[in-house]
Amino acid sequence: MKIAVCIKRAADMETRFKIAADGKSIDETGVKFDIADFDGFAVEAALQLKEKDGTGEVTVISLGKDTVQETLRKALSMGADKAVHLKTDAVPADALVIARVLAAELGGGGYDLMLFGRMAIDAANQSVGPMAAELLGVPCVSAASQLGIAGGRGTARRELEGAAEVLEFPLPAVVTIDEGIARPRLPSLKGIMAAKKKPLEVKPVQVGESRVTVMKMELPPERTGGRIIGEGPDAVPELVRLLQTEAKVL
Amino acid sequence: MANTFAFVESLSGALRRVGLEAVTAARRLADATGGGEVHALVMGAPGILATAEVIGAHGADVVEVVEHAGLALYSPEVVAATAAARIGDGSYRAAFFSASAQGKDLAPRVAAKLGASLGADVTAFEASGDAIVVRHPVNTGKVIATLSITGTPVLLSLRPGAVTAERAPRTARVATIAPAIDPAAARVVPKELLAGNTAKLDLGEAPVIVSGGRGLRAPENFKLVEDLAAAFGNAAVGATRAVTDDGWRPHTDQIGQTGRLVSPDLYIACGISGAIQHLAGMRTSKTIVAINKDREAPIFKIADYGVVGDVLQILPVLTEAVRKAKQSH
């Protein structure tokens, strides 16, 4: 089975974010970057499907500046077989523009399965995977927390609010991966050494005009909490009084 | 004059609250831009027609209803094709979807079919010249982006709770229409709805969330969290990743960076130290209460009200006090 996984390089969400001088972007000084959370789950899902199958190939694909090669190398060190860097200096804010670039790459690849993370943890649009599927004209299941492939068909479980659903679909298909399938494995030393020799193809791409423009980025107001009202069960009457009279939520 | 579209989400034959929020949002945008009609679409198994009246009462001028036995479960391809066929007639400036599990699956499919721009998971919106300007939390809510979106139409998925559904009575024209593709022809086939406990309030919709962490020490002690939620009567139960990883609670209850992002009126964190990944999921709650043994726990830095102590001792007392307070209303 040929599997492609589209991954994004994203800031570590433990970062204390600062807004850059332009007021429209994040100040990247000193910020750590890694494979975006859900994309890591997608890489792990792909590797497990390949291992279960006993045969196949996992290709990781990322759009962005040269720095995404570090992220692709990490996926290679986890066990992916090859990598494609779709090179551009500016990743637009328009999910459809990104989906078009990725679909153009995926379309010629002959992949049986094309995986994405459920959402990019930074932009949080949760849109690129289903959009790419539509552009490719292939079936799509989004936010799968379980995924099984057998006999050219897939079965996925997707979490809804307070419920879940099970869907079946034929391959080739796009599936976006939610948490629940597996924790991403850590690269081994052997994996890191092997990754250096694996192919990483760089393809310059033209991205289309974005109709989504960032006008402003700002930090939400700080919470001014931090009020300890007492200790142990004795504090309960005061807590209830404050919830009734001050917060008015009881 | 351009019209505004609202996709009205339903599940198992019932409208979801987010569906009516989409209608209210469409009405607001239509009114703010000088009128124009609100056209709503609702799809489901036979019987869904009965929901048209309440959709009209929330401000829709036209309610189009697709009733089909093959739509008892959400069928992504059928719903996307039908919504795209409706919105694609060129008469709409904006189309509202819900940023729910279903809507986040649907809206990007429709946007790609139409080549339309999508503003995803928006918490605020307004028309500005030719553009729609939206606010959208990014980086797990630690940064708020203001985006300008152009194109016709602009699709928007609205974060649950971003607007409150309001009545704006209209006598809607109701029409039943056929799905754009036969559900039997869909490639992605919904097989089963695993309903879980449907009586349980969803984390995204509950005004109160009582959430538990490792401080509860054992899975059976989650009963104390459930008891407190029951005492409120309008509360859902959440959990930290540590707890769902250990199998104490289902994965779907997890609140945090890779779980649910919630903002209830009241969030009670029980035995939760406040790892940054958990805070990412609940820091926008309006009022936060923390109960924890460790006075230095980071949760106390963001809590409006903190109680230091053993959650196993405090919860039964709090539950009883809440029950009494509720009874005296």
Q: Is A162 on the interface with B (CB under 8 A)?
A: yes
**Using CB atoms and an 8 Å cut-off, which of residues 225-244 of chain A contact chain B?**
225-233, 235-237, 239-240, 242-244
Helices B101-114 and A128-136, axial angle in degrees (round to 10): 40
What percentage of residues in chain B have a pLDDT greater than 70?
Answer: 98
Tell the residue number behind the tokens 């890191």, with chain if given.
A192
Q: How far apart are CA A131 and CA A109, in angstroms?
A: 17
Nearest-neighbour CA in chain B from A104: distance (Å): 14
B147 and A93: CB-CB below 8 Å? yes
**How far is residue A51 from each of residues A35, A38, A242, B54, measured CA to CA in Å?**
21, 20, 56, 52
A90 at B interface, C-beta within 8 A: no
Residues B270/B217, Cβ–Cβ less than 8 Å: no
Q: Does A23 touch chain B (CB under 8 A)?
A: no
Rounded to whole angstroms, the Cα distance separating A226 from B36 reads 48
Model pLDDT, residue B170: 82
E-assigned strand segments in A161-242: 163-170, 173-177, 200-204, 212-218, 228-231
Arithmetic mean of pLDDT, A164-193: 94
Question: The dihedral of CA A80, A83, A89, A95: what is its sign?
Answer: negative
Give the neighbor-by-neighbor strand order of the sheet with B154-158.
B117-122, B154-158, B92-98, B3-7, B38-44, B62-67, B173-176
B121 contacts A125? CB cut-off 8 A = yes
Burial B276-308 (b: 16+ CB within 10 A, else e): bbbbbbbbbbebbbbbbeeeebbbbebbbbbbb
Selecting from B187, B257, B265 the residue whose C-beta is nearest the C-beta of A139 gives: B187
Angle at B7 between CA B40 and CA A173, to 5 degrees: 145
Task: For residue range A45-81, list pLDDT tens digits in order.
Answer: 999 999 999 999 999 999 999 999 999 999 999 999 9
Residue A16 has pLDDT above 80, yes or no: yes
Q: Do B149 and A211 touch (CB under 8 A)?
A: yes
CA–CA separation, A92 vs A104, rounded Å? 16
* Biggest CA pair distance of chain A: 68
In total, the C-beta contacts within 8 angstroms joining chain A to chain B are: 285
> Cβ A134–B77 below 8 Å, yes or no?
no
Q: CB A123 to CB B138 under 8 A?
A: yes
Q: Do A26 and B143 touch (CB under 8 A)?
A: yes
Sign of CA dihedral B253, B256, B260, B264: positive
**Whole-Å CA distances, A104 to A6, A64, A67, A86, B98:** 13, 15, 22, 11, 29
Question: What is the torsional sign of CA B49, B54, B56, B59?
Answer: negative
Q: Tell me the C-alpha distance between A46 and A208, whole Å.
A: 29
**C-alpha B300 chain-centroid distance:** 27
B309: left (phi > 0), else alpha (psi -120 to 50), else beta? Answer: left
Task: Check CB contact under 8 Å for B321 and A133.
Answer: no
End-to-end alpha-carbon separation of chain B, Å?
A: 49
Q: Residue B57, exposed/middle/buried by CB under 10 A (0-12, 13-18, 19+)?
A: middle
- In angstroms, what separates the C-alpha of A177 from chain B's closest C-alpha? 11
Q: How many angstroms separate the first and last alpha carbons of chain A?
A: 56
For residue B294, give the chain A residue with the closest CA: A231
Higher pLDDT among residues A163 and B97, named by residue = B97
- Give B-chain residues touching A147 at CB under 8 angstroms: none
Q: Please provide the average confidence, as pLDDT, over all residues in chain A.
A: 95
How far lies A225's CA from each of A229, B207, B215, in Å?
11, 20, 21
pLDDT of residue B200: 65
- For residues B163 and B148, give the distance between their C-alpha atoms in angstroms, rounded to a whole number: 20
Reading the block at residue A3, the tokens are 């599997």
Nearest residue, CB atoms, A232 vs list B113, B148, B309: B309
Q: In the numeric block, which tokens belong to residue A215?
A: 């006008």
Residue B89, C-beta contacts closer than 8 angstroms, at least 6 positions apart: none
Report residues of chain B scoring pLDDT below 50: 198
Say what the pLDDT of residue A218 is. Answer: 97
Q: Output the pLDDT for position B196.
A: 64
Distance between CA atoms of A175 and A106, rounded to whole angstroms?
13
Closest chain B residue to the Cα of A169, Cα to Cα? B188
Residues 171-200 of A with CB under 8 A from B: 179-180
* Whether A136 contacts chain B with CB within 8 A: no
Contacts of B306 in chain A (CB under 8 A): 225-229
* pLDDT tens, position by position, A33-55: 999 999 999 999 999 999 999 99
Which three-class secondary structure state does DSSP give residue A50? helix
